[in-house]
A and B are shown apart, each in its own frame.
Chain A
Amino acid sequence: MQEHLYKILVLGDVGTGKTSIIKRYVYNKSSMNNKSTIGIDFAQKVIQWSPDKLVRLQLWDIAGHEKFGNMTRFYYKEALGALIVYDVTRSYTFEGVNKWKSDLDQKVSLPEAWGGGPIPVVLLANKSDLGYEGPNTKTDAEISQYCEEKDFAKWFKTSAVNNQNIEEAAQFLVSEILKIEKQNNNGNLSYINGRDDIIKVRSEKDPPSRCC
Chain B
Amino acid sequence: MPQLLEVTEYDVIILGTGFIESILAGALARIGKSVLHLDANNFYGGNWSSLNFKELLEWTRSIQGVDGAYSTIEYEFYPIHEQVEDIPAMLLKESKRYNLDLAPKMVPCRGELIELLISSGVGRYLEFKAMDKTYIYSADTFDKVPCSKEDVFTNQSISLIEKRKLMRFLTFALDYTNSPDTYKDYEEKSFTTLLIEKFKIDGKLLLAVLYTIALIRTDANDVNTIQGLEKTQSYLKSLGRYGNAAFLVGLYGCGNEIAQGFCRVCAVYGGIYMLDHSVKHLLIDENSNKFTGLVDVNDQQISSTFLVSSIDYLPPRFLKEDEHWETTSRAIVIIDKFIHEESGDASLTVYPPETVKNKYPVTVLQFSAGTQTCPEDRYTVSDTKPNPLFALFYRHKKRVVSSSEIPENIIIASDPDSSLDFEEATIQARQYFEKMCPGEEFLPAGPDPDDEDEFIV
Contact = CB atoms under 8 A, between A and B. Distances in A.
Interface of A: 26-28, 36-46, 58, 63-65, 67-68, 70, 72-75, 197-203, 210
Nearest to B248: A199
A58 to B, nearest CB: 7
A67 B170 CA distance: 54
Contacts of A63: 264, 267-268, 270
Given A36-B270, A64-B270, A201 B128 contact: yes
Contacts of A75: 264
A72 to B, nearest CB: 4
Given A72-B267, A75-B264, A198 B118 contact: no
Closest 3 CB pairs between A and B?
A64-B267, A201-B123, A72-B260
A40 B127 contact: no
Most buried by B among A41, A70, A75: A70
A72 B248 CA distance: 22
Q: Interface range on chain B: under 10, 10 to 19, 20 to 34, or 35 or more?
A: 35 or more
A198 B251 contact: yes
Nearest to A60: B449
B127 A73 contact: no
A202 B118 contact: yes
B114 A70 contact: no
Given A39-B446, A73-B257, 5 more contacts: A43-B452, A58-B449, A63-B267, A64-B272, A72-B263
A35 to B, nearest CB: 10
Given A68-B3, A198-B127, A198-B251, A27 B457 contact: yes
A163 B257 CA distance: 38
B452 A203 contact: no
A45 B268 contact: no
Contacts of A36: 270
9 contacts: A38-B269, A43-B452, A44-B452, A46-B453, A58-B449, A197-B345, A199-B128, A202-B124, A203-B119
A92 B114 CA distance: 45
A85 B252 CA distance: 30
B388 interface: no
Contacts of A40: 268, 446-447, 449, 452
A201 B268 contact: no
Contacts of B130: 197, 199
Contacts of B127: 198-200
Interface in B326-370: 345, 370
B117 interface: yes
Contacts of B449: 40-44, 58
A197 B117 contact: no
A73 B252 contact: yes
Contacts, number: 113
Contact of A200 (B128, B275, B345, B447): B128
B53 interface: no
Most buried by B among A37, A42, A64: A64
A27 B455 contact: yes
B260 A198 contact: no
Nearest to A202: B123
A123 B29 CA distance: 32
B125 interface: yes
A39 B269 contact: yes
A73 B456 contact: no
A210 B276 CA distance: 40
B44 interface: yes
Contact of A64 (B126, B128, B268, B276): B268
Interface string B78-119: 000000000000000000000000000000000000100111
B323 interface: no
A27 B457 CA distance: 6
B261 interface: yes
Contacts of B370: 197
Most buried by B among A28, A45, A67, A210: A67
Contacts of A73: 44, 252, 257, 260
A72 B264 contact: yes
Contacts of A197: 129-130, 345, 370
Given A38-B268, A74-B264, A45 B117 contact: no
Nearest to B243: A199
A116 to B, nearest CB: 13
B273 interface: yes
Interface in B1-54: 3, 29, 44
Most buried by B among A36, A58, A68, A72: A72
Given A38-B270, A201-B123, A74 B260 contact: yes
A26 B128 CA distance: 31
A200 B118 CA distance: 10
A201 B248 contact: yes
Nearest to A14: B6
A201 B126 contact: yes
Contacts of B114: 201
Given A46-B456, A199-B242, A64 B118 contact: no
A68 B2 CA distance: 11
